[in-house]
Amino acid sequence: AYGLYLAGRVALAGGVGEEGATLLARAQALTPEQPTVTEQAFIAALMSGDMGVAGRTAPTDAAAAPLFVETGKLVRAVQAFSNGDARGAYAQLKQPIGQPHIGVVLLLKPWVAGAAGDWRAALAEPPAGLDPVSSAFARANRALLLEMRGRTAEAETEFKALSEQPGAGALFKVPYGEFLERRGRRAEARAVYEAAIAGGQNDVPTHQALRRVRDGGAAPAAPTLKTGAALALTTAAAQASVARSNEVAVVYLRLALNLDRDPEVLYRLGQTLSRAGLTGPAQQVLNQITPRDSLLYAAARLQLGLAAEAAKDNETALARLREAAAAAPDDAVIARVLASQLLNMKRFDETLAVLDSPLLNTGEQDPDVRFMRGAAYEAKGRIEDAEAELWAALQAEPNSASVQNYLGYLWVDKGLRVAQGAELIARAHASQPDDGNIQDSLGWAQYRQGQYDTAVETLEAAVAKLPANPEINDHLGDAYWRVGRKREAGFQWRRVLTLDPDAEQRAAVERKLAEGLTEAPAAGAQP
C-alpha cells in the first residue's frame, strides 16, 4: 500500500493526474483507516476528473477535514444525478451541505428538483438576502427553467432585466441572445451580441454567438435538466475563480464535465487549472479541444502558446501560435501575439510579414503594432524606418515607458539625437524606476554623453536588478574601462561570455578582452 501511495504522489507531481488518482485510490482501498491516504486519493480524483473514484474515496469520518467532507457530499449528489438517480441526488442536496458549497447548491438544486419532479421547488423565486451577484445568477437559472416549462413571457422579462443591469448585465447578454434566437428573433439577438462586443465583452462565447447568428447557424438548443445542472456548476466555478478559489472552481468544472462534455467548459477548466498553478494538467485539458469549433480551438492554442513561451520553449510556442492564427485568421489579438513571438525569436522578416498583413496594417493600427514594426526595422538596420514607426507609436502613446525607452535608446546608441534620446529615457525611468532594462538605457545614455562616473553608478544598479542580462553587464564593463577600473571591466566582460550572448555580442566582447577599448568617442558620436 505504501508503494502505491508513493507511486501515486510521484505521478501527481509529474503531472500525470489520472494515473496518480488511480494509484492513490488503490492505496486507499488497502488502507481505508489512514486519513491522509484517503484525503490524498480524494483530492487526486477530484483534480483529475475521476468522479467515480472521488465519490468512493470521499471522507465521511467526523475527524476528517470539513472541506473534504462537504465536498464529498456534493460529489456524491452530482454522481447520483449523472447516473440517472435524480430522486436520490435531490434527497442528498436537500440535506445540509456546508461551505464553500452553499452557493453552488443554490444554483444546482433547482435543476435536480425539476428532474425529480418537484417543479414547485425548481421554479421558486431565489431566497431573499442573497448578494446581488448570487441573486442575479439564481434569477438567470430560473429564467431558463421557466423557458423549459413554456412560460416564455416570464422568462423573457427576467432575461431582459438581467441583461440591462449596470455592470453585471454583460454576463447575461449571451443567455438573453440565445433565448431570442430560440424564439426566431435573430435580428434582436444579433443586436444584443453586437452591443455586448461594442461594450468591451470580447470573450469567446460572445464572438461565437455573433458569428453563429450572422452566418445563419441554428439557434442553440435550450438546456436539458442535465446540461442545465452542468451550467449551474460552471457558473459557480466562475464565481469561485473571481474569489480566487481556483481549486474549488476546478472541482465544479470537473463535475460539470461529468454531466455534459461541453468543449467550452473544457476550455474554462484548462484556464482555471493554469491559474491554480497546475500547468501540466492545464495543457492536457487544452490539448483535448479539437478544431471542430475554430474559435475555441484558436483560444486553446493561444493559451498553450503563451504557456510554452513562459517556459522558454520558443519553438513550441511558435507552433501553437501559428495553429491559433490559422484557426482564427481574422483575430488581431492572436496575430499580434504571433508577431511578438517571431520578434522575440529574431525572425524579423516573418515578423514584418505578419505586421504588414491587412489584418494589422490598418489606418488606425495599434501602437504596439508600430512598436514591433519599429523594433524589427531597427534589427534589420533600417534605422530611418524604425524611427518613423517608433515616433508614430510615441505620438499615439506619449506616456508609454516602453516606447520612450526604445526610441530613446535607438537615438542614443546610434548617435542620432543623444540629448533628446536621453531625455526620453529619463522620462521612462522616472515612471518605472524599478525596471532594470530602462535603468540600463539611462546608464548607457550617460555613457554616450561622456558622464562615465555617473554611468557606472547607474549601470551597477541596473546589473543588481538584472544580473543575468549580458548586455547590461557589457555596458558596465565599458563604463568601468572609461573610469580606469580596467580589471573590473575585464571581469564584467568575461561574465558576459557566461550569460549566453548572441554570436555578434560574443565576438565584440572577446575583442574587448583582447584589445580593450579604443579612445572614448566624442559625446554623441556614432559608436
Can you give the pLDDT at residue 520? 62
Same fold for the domain at 2-118 and the one at 132-214?
A: yes
Question: Between 1.20.1290.10, 3.55.10.10, 1.10.1380.10, 1.25.40.10, what CATH number should domain 2-118 receive?
Answer: 1.25.40.10
CA nearest 47: which of 11, 80, 83? 11
Per-domain residue ranges for the chain? Answer: 2-118, 132-214, 399-515
Give Cα 22 distance to the centre of its chain.
30
| Residue 86: Cβ-neighbour burial (10 angstroms; 0-12, 13-18, 19+) | buried
Can you give the pLDDT at residue 55? 73
Q: Residue 27 carries which side chain, given as an amino acid letter?
A: A
Can you give the pLDDT at residue 523? 53
Instruction: Give the SS3 label for residue 434.
Output: coil
| pLDDT per residue as tens digits for the range 438-447 | 999 999 999 9
CATH code, 399-515: 1.25.40.10
Can you give the pLDDT at residue 103? 92
Can you give the pLDDT at residue 22? 44
DSSP 162-219: HHTSTTGGGGGHHHHHHHHHHTT-HHHHHHHHHHHHHTT---HHHHHHHHHHHTTPPP
pTM over 0.85: no
Q: Average pLDDT for consecutive 10-residue bins of the chain (527 residues)?
A: 34 42 42 54 73 76 77 91 96 92 94 97 92 92 96 95 84 93 95 90 87 93 95 94 88 93 93 86 92 93 95 96 97 96 97 97 92 97 96 96 96 92 97 96 96 97 96 97 96 96 94 87 51
Query: In Å, how far are 194, 371, 426, 500 from 441, measured between CA atoms?
Result: 45, 17, 9, 20
CATH code, 132-214: 1.25.40.10
Q: 3-state DSSP: the chain helix, strand, coil percent, rounded to 5?
A: 75, 0, 25
Show the 3-state SS of 442-502: HHHHHHHCCCHHHHHHHHHHHHHHCCCCHHHHHHHHHHHHHCCCHHHHHHHHHHHHCCCCC
Can you give the pLDDT at residue 23? 36
Give the separation between CA 115 and CA 340, rounded to whole angstroms. Answer: 51
- DSSP label of 522: P
> Does residue 345 contact residue 312 with C-beta atoms inside 8 Å?
no
Can you give the pLDDT at residue 13? 40
Q: Residue 21 carries which side chain, given as an amino acid letter?
A: A
Can you give the pLDDT at residue 61? 74
